[in-house]
Amino acid sequence: MKSLYSRFFAAAPGRLHFAAHSHHPWPDVTREAQIEAWDDAARLADLKWERVFGEVATEAQGHIARVLDLPAASQVAFAPNTHEFVMRLLSCFPPGQRLRVVTTDSEFLSFSRQIARLEEEKLVDLVRVPAEPFSSFSERFIEAARAADTDLAFFSQVFFNSGFVVRDFEAIVNAAPPRAMVVIDGYHGFFAIPTSLRKVADRAFFLAGGYKYAQSGEGACFLSVPRGYEGRPLNTGWFAGFGALEGGDFHRVPFSNDGFRFMGATFDPVGLYRFNAVARLFESRGLTIASVDDHVKALQRLFLDGLGAKRDAVLSVEDLIAPSDGLAGLGHFLTFRRKDAGGIAERLAARHVIVDHRGDRLRFGFGMYHDANDVAALLTHL
């Protein structure tokens, strides 16, 4: 697969990139897509929005629905980042209502920072369920979310600080009270973990984007909205009125009856062009999320076996944060708990080996463009 990324590799030929859980390299087709977006703007000017909404966004909705097994592609909305969706979802609740929010201690900053700020102002009552021990996470989260006064249940499909995959999210979604909003942050699962949302799509919101495993860069985030949802976000943009069918009451702000009720306003559509190019590339090559997942898991096993055999490595397999079922319960990155995580990442960066760390968590991401030679090189550096 390396030939698909020739421009990224040629731009930094000495770099060994093992942060595929963060800024994934982009395949060459995304450069062509970016140029296509520019050419459309030059050719169509303001009329480009007819193409963006009539063709580009519609195609992207279709790819997302196919990958996630969604029953209705029209329920997908787009935004430049997931934080915008977090704010829009929170704005669906009545002003002044103090919310009971059930979440985890392992959510990414797009949610955890914002909800902590609201907690500081006593606008929410926050229940943080610890992710560890992983073996009992689902049971503990379900118990907390079942409370009758739960307004919002928010959890990740794959935790960013460990890679742990929540496999039984259907049970969690079904456990929440009918009145509660349920939101799944799927950013570390989308285009990485084979996922079917069909059984929960009409109950739970699902948000993700193209920056990581979808290899599309910034600006291509999305929200899957349950069919029939009639919430009226206070945080709303004029794109949310496209296709509104609530006509007749001109004193009431209209909303689209599909996923577009969660749209904002004018945005840069180039991320959607890039995402479509990646999705088409997968289809043309016969690549599935399952086949990429198998490839990554094989590389992870090769890495751990090699690490276990190296007596002089700076890391140990014992430092790995993993659930009881091992790699089967992890996403596409391996996380090691080390007090000196930052120092190790810096020393590797000095050798042009790119990994990352969050506090005491050192993360190694594996992608479809890696092979056994890359793993051997990484082990040599360690």
Whether the Cβ atoms of residue 66 and residue 117 lie closer than 8 Å to each other:
no
User: In the CATH hierarchy, which fold is given to the domain comprising 30-281?
Assistant: Aspartate Aminotransferase; domain 2 (3.40.640)
- Among 245-259, 316-330, 363-377, where is mean pLDDT lowest? 245-259
SS3 241: helix
Q: Which pLDDT tens digit goes with each residue over 14-52?
A: 999 999 999 999 999 999 999 999 999 999 999 999 999
CA-CA distances (angstroms) from residue 53 to 80, 121, 172, 239, 279? 15, 39, 34, 10, 18
Kindly indicate the confidence band of residue 244, based on its pLDDT and cuts at 50, 70 and 90.
low
Query: pLDDT tens digits, residue range 331-357?
Result: 999 999 999 999 999 999 999 999 999
State the pTM of this model: 0.96
Whether residue 250 is predicted with pLDDT greater than 70 in this model: the reply is: no
Is pLDDT above 90 for 150? Answer: yes
**What pLDDT score was predicted for residue 324?**
82
Note the pLDDT of residue 231: 97
Looking at residue 247, its pLDDT comes to 53
CA angle 218, 221, 223 (to 5 degrees): 175
Q: Do domains 2-29+288-381 and 30-281 have the same CATH topology?
A: no
Residue 245 has pLDDT above 90, yes or no: no
Q: How far is CA 379 from the centre of its chain?
A: 28
Average model confidence (pLDDT) across the chain: 96
Tokens of 283: 């289809």
CATH topology of domain 2-29+288-381: Aspartate Aminotransferase, domain 1 (3.90.1150)
Contact yes or no for 341/359 (Cβ under 8 A): yes
Please state the domain extents for the chain.
2-29+288-381, 30-281
